[in-house]
């Protein structure tokens, strides 16, 4: 019987669902299909919770799996934010900063040297807030609510731009301090 490649796991299949749903989410958002976008978002959150549990339950945890999981999260929220930004719902700068912050996070964690990802306190909360900022306008529209209004959603988006920049500067300063200590 042929060996199954280590990347072909139940956990990675759940992560792949999230990856492949990202462009469909963007299309639903841009088409004004809030119920479809909400259903896809709910599926993404469910697979994000489940993939880690499944990996631990079936002994499928790996550094690569953790990296891929985080990368797919970044792709999913960037895609959702980009679709919302294209409609003027969120600041255009937000979907530009998310992948840059993720790349910095990956490089700073020294993943290339086989180390696990090291999240900062603010970075972890930003990661959660990226999901929330995508959910708020699509769920609001699916439920035909009037709150939070466009001005508040836009302001929350700008707040997330600010905290992303603060997190990136903080990570850069910590990295430079660490490099100075090593030299």
- Give pLDDT tens digits for 157-171: 999 999 999 999 988
The closest alpha carbon to 152, from 89, 92, 93, 94, belongs to 89
Cβ–Cβ < 8 Å for 55, 9: yes
Tokens (6 digits) for 13: 């299949």
Domain boundaries, the chain: 10-182
Give this prediction's pTM.
Answer: 0.89
Q: Is residue 108 pLDDT above 90, yes or no?
A: no
pLDDT band with cut points at 50, 70 and 90 for residue 177: confident
- Residue-wise pLDDT for 134-155, tens only, equals 999 999 999 999 999 999 999 9
Those residues whose C-beta lies under 8 Å from the C-beta of residue 102, and which sit 6 or more positions away, are: 70, 71, 74
Architecture of the domain spanning 10-182: Up-down Bundle (1.20)
Q: Is residue 127 pLDDT above 60, yes or no?
A: yes
- Residue-wise pLDDT for 37-93, tens only, equals 999 999 999 999 999 899 889 888 877 777 888 899 999 999 999 999 999 999 999
Q: What CA dihedral angle connects 90, 153, 43 and 167, to 10 degrees?
A: 70
Q: What is the maximal distance between C-alpha atoms in the chain? A: 59
How far, in Å, are 30, 49, 50, 58 from residue 10 at the CA level? 31, 13, 10, 8
Residue with tokens 């090593």: 182
Cβ–Cβ < 8 Å for 18, 72: yes
Those residues whose C-beta lies under 8 Å from the C-beta of residue 118, and which sit 6 or more positions away, are: 108, 109
Those residues whose C-beta lies under 8 Å from the C-beta of residue 76, and which sit 6 or more positions away, are: 18, 19, 21, 22, 25, 44
The closest alpha carbon to 155, from 93, 102, 110, 90, belongs to 90
Residue with tokens 């769920």: 139
């Amino acid at each position: 019987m042929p060996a199954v490649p280590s990347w072909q796991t139940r956990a990675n299949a759940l992560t792949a669902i999230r990856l492949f749903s990202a462009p469909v989410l963007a299309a639903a958002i841009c088409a004004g299909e809030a119920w479809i976008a909400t259903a896809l978002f709910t599926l993404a959150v469910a697979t994000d919770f489940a993939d880690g549990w499944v990996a631990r339950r079936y002994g499928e945890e790996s550094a690569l799996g953790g990296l891929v999981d985080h990368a797919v999260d970044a792709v999913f929220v960037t895609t959702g934010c980009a679709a919302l930004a294209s409609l003027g719902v969120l600041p255009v700068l937000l979907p530009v900063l998310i992948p840059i912050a993720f790349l910095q996070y990956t490089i700073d964690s020294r993943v290339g040297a086989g180390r696990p990802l090291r999240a900062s306190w603010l970075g972890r909360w930003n990661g959660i807030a990226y999901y929330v900022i995508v959910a708020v306008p699509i769920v609001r529209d699916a439920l035909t609510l009037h709150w939070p209004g466009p001005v508040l959603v836009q302001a929350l988006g700008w707040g997330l731009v600010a905290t992303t920049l603060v997190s990136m500067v903080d990570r850069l300063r910590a990295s430079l301090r660490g490099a100075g200590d090593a030299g």
